[in-house]
Structure formats: C-alpha cells, structure tokens
Amino acid sequence: MAKRKQKQPTYEEKGVRYMMCTCGSYVSVDETAVDVKCSHCVTMIMMNKYPHEEPKSYKPTGRPAGWHFMKEFVDKDGNVFHKGKEQPKLFGTLPSTKVQPKKKTKRRTKEQILIARHKKKKMALKKAKKLSKRKLKNKLIDEEKSNGVKR
Ligand SMILES: [Zn+2]
C-alpha cells in the first residue's frame, strides 16, 4: 500500500499537534499521523459498516474496575487472569472471583454538613475557652508565687 500523503490541515498548540477530521473537528495526533478520524466519525463509520454491532467500548465486561491489576482474577466464564494476563491452562479450574458490589456512600445533605461543621466549631471554641481558663489560673498561681517571694 502506498503511503498516503497528509491532506488534512493541522496546527500546533502547546506542543500538541492537532489535525482536522473530515467533519471539521480537530483531534490531537502524534507527529507521524497523516490522517485522522475523530471518535465521532469512527463511531459513525462503524455504525454504517456494522449496523448490528455495538461499538466495543460500550460493552460492559462485568469485571470490576482494576481487575487487570489483581494478582488473580477469574471471570464468570472461568477465564483466569494473573494481573490481567489470561492463563488459558487454568481455564475453568478456579471459582470465579466474586465481584463486591460498590458500597453506597451515605451522602450528606448540605444542611447536615453545615450542622456538623457548626458543631465542630463549637467544640473547638469550648476547648479553647477551657484552655485559656486553665492558663489564666496558672498565671494567677504564678503571680501569687512570685508575690510571695517578694514579700
Ligand atoms: Zn470527524
């Protein structure tokens, strides 16, 4: 196949090269790129070519986030992965890794946050008052002591 010549206009900004897609939108490319298709156009082409297939990126794997970082991960079909690398020899020999459902974090309302913050401030104030009282007491004792020396 003959090497295609660059035909789309490009420009550079902050060291990043951008090339215009046929649809007119710019996409960041590397220095060697001679042609570019923005993700939108790629999706359009894929849809035209394979109208019954969904783009791969939209297929949920059913695997938890970061599964390929796990020392060992077995998917529901019995495929075994060690740090994301498939281990065909171990296929079907291990029970599938249970995917823990994400824990729902309790969302506090803005009001609750404000109340909590207010309480915290109050506590801090109380503490500060107690501390200064004690300091005052100590100061008085010190003064009494030093007065006693003078006498
Ligand atoms: Zn495009």
- From first to last of the 151 residues of the chain, give the pLDDT tens digit: 555 676 789 999 999 999 999 899 999 998 888 889 999 999 888 888 887 765 555 556 678 888 888 999 999 899 999 998 999 999 999 999 887 776 667 777 888 888 899 999 999 999 888 888 888 888 888 888 877 655 5
By the CB criterion, residues less than 5 angstroms from ion ligand 1 are 21, 23, 38, 41
Nearest to 8 by CA among 16, 21, 31: 21
Compute the distance from residue 32 Cα to the ligand 1 centre, in Å. Answer: 19
CA distances from 67 to 26, 90, 137, 150 (A): 34, 17, 61, 77
Q: What's the pLDDT score for residue 149?
A: 59
Domain boundary assignment for the chain? 10-58, 61-98, 110-151
Structure tokens of 58? 């939209």
Q: What's the pLDDT score for residue 143?
A: 82
Q: What's the pLDDT score for residue 56?
A: 59
Between strands 26-29 and 73-74, the pairing is unpaired
Q: What's the pLDDT score for residue 94?
A: 93
Q: What's the pLDDT score for residue 150?
A: 55
Compute the distance from residue 43 Cα to the ligand 1 centre, in Å. Answer: 9
**What does the alpha-carbon distance between residue 109 and residue 112 come to, in Å, rounded to a whole number?**
5
Compute the distance from residue 19 Cα to the ligand 1 centre, in Å. Answer: 10
